[in-house]
Structure 1
Amino acid sequence: KRDDELILPINDSISSTLDTNQMSAKTTIMANPNFIENKIWLNGKEESFNGPRLQSCLKEIKRRVQESKKRSDIIEWNIHICSENNFPTAAGLASSAAGYACLIFALAKLYDVEGDISGLARRGSGSACRSVYGGWVKWWKGNRSDGLDSIAVQLAPASHWPDMRIIILVVNESRKKHGSTDAMKRSIATSTLLSARADTIVPGRISEMESAIKSKDFPKFAEITMRDSNQFHAICLDTYPPCFYLNNVSHAIIEFVHAYNEFRGSAQVAYTYDAGPNACLYTLENNVGEIISIINEIFPTNISEGYIKGIPVEGCTI
């Protein structure tokens, strides 16, 4: 990041938002004049309400409310927030992005805040600004010091590429050892590869990825996705001391993907890893059944029920 407080990135980025019927955060907020204090619960556990990012989001929301003069009647009431997600937290699966996007959306509804809310979500978690939109989303890094031009825009809705499928492989649902925020600070301070990536490589890849999404060119999309994931983790290793996120199972999944693509004669599946060992695989619908069947053979389990969840897949028991 070029600004930790406003959470302003050093480069543009593109992501896809998953189907909220399958993986999502759910947040309920109640404002009441009789509440003695503000409270927040995450996955059933009460957490501190004084976190700097949460406070930053609330401060900006209140500023907008005061400007609009719409819900000034309840803006001073204390609130209770209950948030939960149906996938592992702090394990490299964008739980903070989902959580803050959902939180900001709920707060905007509560206080009748209009206009773009991606900049508000960014104050909680950078990736959250992309998660307020569905489909394919681009986060502009912006140039202004106040961050007003660092917002997200939808490149294409999910319906643009209807046969695209995403398979999440949960390798380890435990909390990661290195938090993303601290790791990024360390990378900026110590990685000599990072500046070259942000200044030279990413701009070209962003343009290529936008083109691949627009034309629905899966082999091109897959190669860019995997190369970018590899480079991200190369920077993690170039950080001093290094940040290790992938484990042996993560590496085995990478090897499987390349072996499968070689067997098929072209890129039919792509992997990407965030700051954690859990894989996100992209493929087209007609490959899903075969890929999941092979994964079940390579990585067997003794769990009889609930091992595979999500959209029904022909030939696989979910």
Structure 2
Amino acid sequence: MASEEKPLVVVTCTAPVNIAVIKYWGKRDEDLVLPINSSLSVTLHQDQLKTTTTAAISKDFTEDRIWLNGREEDVGQPRLQACLREIRRLARKRRSTGDEDPPPLSLSYKVHVASVNNFPTAAGLASSAAGYACLAYALARVYGVDSDLSEVARRGSGSACRSLYGGFVEWQMGERADGKDSVARQVAPESHWPALRVLILVVSAERKLMGSTAGMQTSVETSPLLRVRLGWVGAGGRPGRVLRPSGPGRCAPLSGISRASQFRAEAVVPGRMVEMAHCVRERDFQGFGRLTMKDSNQFHATCLDTFPPISYLSDISRRIIRLVHCFNAHHGQTKVAYTFDAGPNAVVFTLDDTVPEFVAAVRHCFPPESNGDKFLKGLPVRPASLSDELRAALDVDPTPGGVKYIIATQVGPGPQTLDDPHAHLLGPDGLPKPAA
């Protein structure tokens, strides 16, 4: 808990990226960031991908300020303000139920925040999830909040609530209109499946043309595969932005909406959530891999069904999909599985004994144009060669430089607090430290 006697209270935390294998796409409430379906993700290890955030409060600060990757950003962004309001509300609530009277002055202190990612931002690698999870975690510690942070993180970025836990995580869509039951829960810890590996094939580190928030809102409004909000009905029959839930995991059809128009959210995802949780608990890679690819394909089909269509995949993305299916067909089983979020970069799941051969296949299909020694980052991968049979089975024309590099990682833990003062991104004056 923050000490009232300190002129400056500083906390530094890290938080992980998570990759959804059952994806959410679309909200039943834009303001509260409530999804139209539940989702399930895998938390990646912070040794390879993480956000680091320092939060500081002081009686001397005159305004809230935030710096992202060394650049000061607008602290008035609605999502950021929502997180700040929620964490301060929780802090006041906690203190009001305690023995401290009057409430500590720190509740009125302004906050300075600095955050950095060690991976490309806004390129479809779940940077907002890690960023807002880290923000919520750091703010909670600097303001002395000790409670479920799902709502705080979710208000910043929906998928951020899943980055509050390690291992395998479910984001329950919830039924309540106020979103209090739309929370993240761990399905299995990071130690549950030690053989699972994750390869991120970076096709582009450029900022994507359409962000996830705008993309999913357009899909909800225009895609017959997903659309659930035509004829929105609010309180008293007025036009609204919130769907009325009907039973566990379901959204009640509103006037003018057919059952078919809610196909993915209502008829597909609930069953897939149960199946995926089972595959994780049983460490069934065959089932896990097939379902991961099917759900990714359906998500991108929904994006293409949006009007105007949204295409997050590139030609290289589609070549990676072909590579994966050729690789699996050669082995007669699902040895590797792809998923793509809202960007062209592929996330490939496999088991540790398959990694060397698949990395060799990627090198064959996408030869590095330069810096071949930097093509593979993260966990070490032993060299392997391709058999003539596999080389022939891949049946692709090599595309030099198509994959910029590979990040090899594994399942990892949730947010961490760094005790080393040298890790702080803010100096004693509450401003970002000079770049080393």
TM (norm. structure 1) is 0.97
Match in the other structure for 1:17: 43
Match in the other structure for 2:252: none
Match in the other structure for 1:133: 165
Match in the other structure for 2:20: none
Say if 2:265 is the partner of 1:233: no
Residue aligned with 1:175, SS: coil
Instruction: Report the AA paired with residue 231 of structure 1.
Output: Q
Q: Is the 8 A contact 1:121 1:128 kept in 2?
A: yes
- The partner residue of 2:332 within 259, 265, 283 is 265
Q: Please list, as runs of the form range in 1=range in 2, the aligned pairs for 1:38-49 lying within 5 A after superposition.
A: 38-49=64-75
1:312 is displaced (CA, Å) by: 1.1
1:293 is displaced (CA, Å) by: 1.4
Match in the other structure for 2:376: 308
Question: Aligned-pair RMSD on alpha carbons?
Answer: 1.4
1:306 is displaced (CA, Å) by: 2.7
Q: Please list, as runs of the form range in 1=range in 2, the aligned pairs for 1:163-202 lying within 5 A after superposition.
A: 163-194=195-226, 195-202=262-269
Q: C-alpha separation between the residues in 2 aligned to 1:119 and 1:135?
A: 20
Residue aligned with 1:193, SS: coil
Say if 2:80 is the partner of 1:54: yes
Q: Please list, as runs of the form range in 1=range in 2, the aligned pairs for 1:96-175 lying within 5 A after superposition.
A: 96-175=128-207
Q: Please list, as runs of the form range in 1=range in 2, the aligned pairs for 1:70-109 lying within 5 A after superposition.
A: 72-109=104-141
Alignment deviations for residues 211-253 of structure 1 (CA, whole Å, 9 cap, x no partner): 1111111011001000000000000000011111000000000
1:73 is displaced (CA, Å) by: 2.2
Q: C-alpha separation between the residues in 1 aligned to 2:348 and 2:286?
A: 13
Instruction: Report the AA paired with residue 234 of structure 1.
Output: A
More helix by percentage: 1
Give structure 1 stretches of 5+ with no counterpart: none
Match in the other structure for 2:321: 254
Instruction: Report the AA paired with residue 317 of structure 2.
Output: S
1:79 is displaced (CA, Å) by: 1.4
Residue aligned with 1:158, SS: coil
Q: C-alpha separation between the residues in 2 aligned to 1:240 and 1:156?
A: 38
- The partner residue of 1:28 within 54, 57, 71 is 54
Say if 2:63 is the partner of 1:37: yes
Match in the other structure for 2:424: none
Give structure 2 stretches of 5+ with no counterpart: 1-26, 227-261, 385-405, 409-436
Q: Is the 8 A contact 1:140 1:151 kept in 2?
A: yes
Q: C-alpha separation between the residues in 2 aligned to 1:290 and 1:118?
A: 39
Residue aligned with 1:16, SS: strand
Name which of structure 1's ranges 307-316 and 74-83 shifts more when overlaid on structure 2. 307-316
1:36 is displaced (CA, Å) by: 2.7
Residue aligned with 1:27, SS: strand
Residue aligned with 2:91, SS: helix
TM (norm. structure 2) is 0.71
Instruction: Report the AA paired with residue 302 of structure 2.
Output: I
Q: Is the 8 A contact 1:66 1:72 kept in 2?
A: no
Instruction: Report the AA paired with residue 2 of structure 1.
Output: R
Higher relative contact order (CA 8 A, sep 6+): 2
How many residues of Structure 1 are paired with residues of Structure 2 in the alignment?
318
